[in-house]
Amino acid sequence: MAVAELTSPTPAYTHTASHLRSFSQLSLSSTHLSLPFRRSFRPRNTVITCSVNQVQAPVSVQTRQPKEKSDCFGVFCLTYDLKSEQETKSWKKLIKIAVSGAAGMISNHLLFKLASGEVFGPDQPIALKLLGSERSFQALEGVAMELEDSLYPLLREVSIGVNPYEVFEDVEWALLVGAKPRGPGMERSNLLDINGQIFAEQGKALNAVASRNVKVIVVGNPCNTNSLICLKNAPNIPAKNFHALTRLDENRAKCQLALKAGVFYDKVSNMTIWGNHSTTQVPDFLNARINGLPVKEVIKDHKWLEEEFTEKIQKRGGVLIQKWGRSSAASTAVSVVDAIKSLVTPTPEGDWFSSGVYTTGNPYGIAEDLVFSMPCRSKGDGDYELVKDVVFDDYLLKKIRKTEAELLAEKRCVAHLIGEGAGFCDLPGDTMLPGEM
Ligand SMILES: NC(=O)C1=CN([C@@H]2O[C@H](COP(=O)(O)OP(=O)(O)OC[C@H]3O[C@@H](n4cnc5c(N)ncnc54)[C@H](OP(=O)(O)O)[C@@H]3O)[C@@H](O)[C@H]2O)C=CC1
Ligand SMILES: O=C([O-])CC(=O)C(=O)O
């Protein structure tokens, strides 16, 4: 993990180019950094005197040897004994959260929400472990500096790094946001391959060093197949723990139904997004409810539901890109927060939420061994169950088959990354991310 050299007189966040280059060359490999390298980068007997403007630790602060606090950024190298202070002694045990693509647009919102306490609660101290790349390392330092300057009481550790084997060590949550965006003229099969390799590598790293019960939320597109690749490369972590983010689609669907019905969006419940986070996704108005009533009883214009509404949700991301010039970042971060909160708080009675989860054992007849958005309920323990009491009609089934076919085709494309032989891409012509239109 890249840590500032604390005995150096230079500020904690100035890495020399050569430091960075040699660090990245080593740490971008798929193996752990060797111990000698760790030692040379951060001598074990170094006394921590956080060098950011030579800040002095307050009296109640205990500084520790780097063995315990080996990866830290700036002010977060100071170690506090939370149990020694009245205000913090009832706090829960610190949890470690990794965020990849941490210097990107979504993370720029997400990290600050995590640090504020709005996600895990006001008594849950957190450690943020930020994963970037050589390309983004300076920006990552900038992000860490902004986190320092925000003085969040619950944010107790921040570290930055470019090696997933270091960043993912002991993490209980991995929010995998970083992915290469599809560029002009790039084939989707190429995108699947490039991003797939990132997620295969990160799956291996999670498998090697993360908490055995780590919860993984894949945001980087194409998120369903990236999530499948990740879980296949992490056989020691339950497949059930991997999610692909479709909560943004759920939120978009609730908003449009509320708008059409003339109600506030908190009146819309039981909203399922089925399938792929792509333009084949299926926003399910058959099972959704408005004010507790089936949507079709409230919105009588069924042609609008089947045509306009469905397409609007499928293409919302693309329309937004046309307006903004970039893909949704703030609302995506909000939806990641919603997705986590849905797993750590009990689902309200009778309601459910959508998440892209592993299909093996699903009660709906959807092909096994995919990551497919489906309706889930949680007891608030980080786990979830699939909802059984949903109904289907011909329209819904036909749409589900289409998004299922697309995911099966994506899976064939990445066979080489999930241990299933050579990849072969025969993607349907209209296969698109929400952002592509
Ligand atoms: N599931 C969903 O609902 C949504 C998903 N998304 C997806 O989330 C992802 C992140 O979006 P956003 O934060 O706006 O994107 P940004 O472009 O702002 O950030 C993406 C980050 O991905 C990282 N990255 C990893 N590999 C590469 C690569 N090969 N080339 C370039 N960058 C790479 C970069 O960080 P680094 O160099 O540090 O690795 C970069 O900071 C995208 O894949 C986007 O499509 C967006 C909206 C909704
Ligand atoms: O295609 C993208 O990057 C944007 C995206 O996923 C969305 O807005 O839903």
User: How far away, in angstroms, is 249 Cα from ligand 1 center?
Assistant: 18
Which atom number of ligand 1 is nearest to the Cα of residue 106? 13
Specify the pLDDT at position 191.
84
Token pair 């986070």: residue: 277
Count of CA atoms in the C-beta half-sphere (13 A) of 244: 31
Which ligand has the nearest atom to the CA of 227?
Answer: 1
Buried b (16+ CB within 10 A) or exposed e, 127-136: bbbbbbbeeb
Q: Looking at residue 429, what is its pLDDT?
A: 67
Question: Does ligand 1 lie within 6 Å of residue 339's CB atom?
Answer: no
Q: Is residue 277 flagged as an active site residue?
A: yes
Residue 139 beta carbon below 6 angstroms from any ligand 1 atom:
no
Nearest CA to ligand 2 atom 2: 435
Tell me, in angstroms, the distance from the centre of ligand 2 to residue 246's CA: 10
**Ligand 1 centroid to 221 CA: how many Å?**
8
Which of 218, 327, 335, 433 gets mutated to test ligand 1 (max ligand atoms within 8 A of its CB)? 327
- Does the structural domain 93-244 have CATH classification 1.20.1070.10? no
Burial letters 223-249, b for 16+ CB under 10 A, else e = bbbbbbbbbbbbeebebebbbbbbbbb
CA atoms within 13 A on the CB side of 252: 26
| Residue 433: predicted pLDDT | 66
Nearest CA to 335 among 320, 350, 323? Answer: 320
Residues with CB under 6 A from ligand 2: 221, 248, 317, 320, 327-328, 433-435
- Same fold? 93-244, 246-417: no
Rounded Cα distance, 336 and 338, in Å: 5
Domain ranges within the chain, ordered by starting residue:
93-244, 246-417
222 prior amide bond cis, ω within 30: yes
CA distance 222 to 337: 19
Distance 335 CA to ligand 2 centre (A): 12
Distance 158 CA to ligand 1 centre (A): 21
- Ligand 2 atom 7 nearest Cα: 317
Which residues touch 218 (CB under 8 Å, ≥6 apart)?
176, 199, 226, 227, 230, 242, 243, 244, 245, 356
Verify whether ligand 1 is closer than 6 Å to residue 142 (CB atom).
no
- Per run of 10 residues, the mean pLDDT along the chain (length 437 residues) is 32 30 29 25 26 33 38 87 92 97 98 98 97 95 97 97 97 97 72 93 98 98 97 98 98 98 98 96 98 98 98 93 90 98 98 98 98 98 97 98 96 95 81 63
Spell out the SS3 assignment of 43-94: CCCCCCCCCHHHCCCCCCEECCCCCCCCCCCHHHHCEECHHHCCCCCCCCCC
Work out the number of other CB atoms within 10 angstroms of the CB of residue 7.
Answer: 13
Phi, psi of 217 (to 5 degrees): -120, 115
Give ipTM to 2 decimals: 0.98
Q: How far apart are CA 406 and CA 32, in angstroms?
A: 36
Architecture of 246-417 per CATH? Alpha-Beta Complex (3.90)
* pTM listed for this prediction: 0.86
Q: Which residues of 290-318 are buried (b: 16+ CB within 10 A; e: fewer)?
A: beeeebeebbeeeeebeeebbebbbbbbb
Closest protein CA for atom 8 of ligand 2 = 317
Q: Is the CB of 238 under 6 A from ligand 1?
A: no
Asked if residue 164 lies in contact with residue 2, where contact means CB atoms within 8 angstroms, the answer is no
User: What pLDDT is attached to residue 431?
Assistant: 62
Q: Calculate ∠ Cα 161-91-333, nearest 5°.
A: 45
Answer whether 210's CB lies under 8 Å from 171's CB.
yes
Amino acid (one-letter) located at 155: L
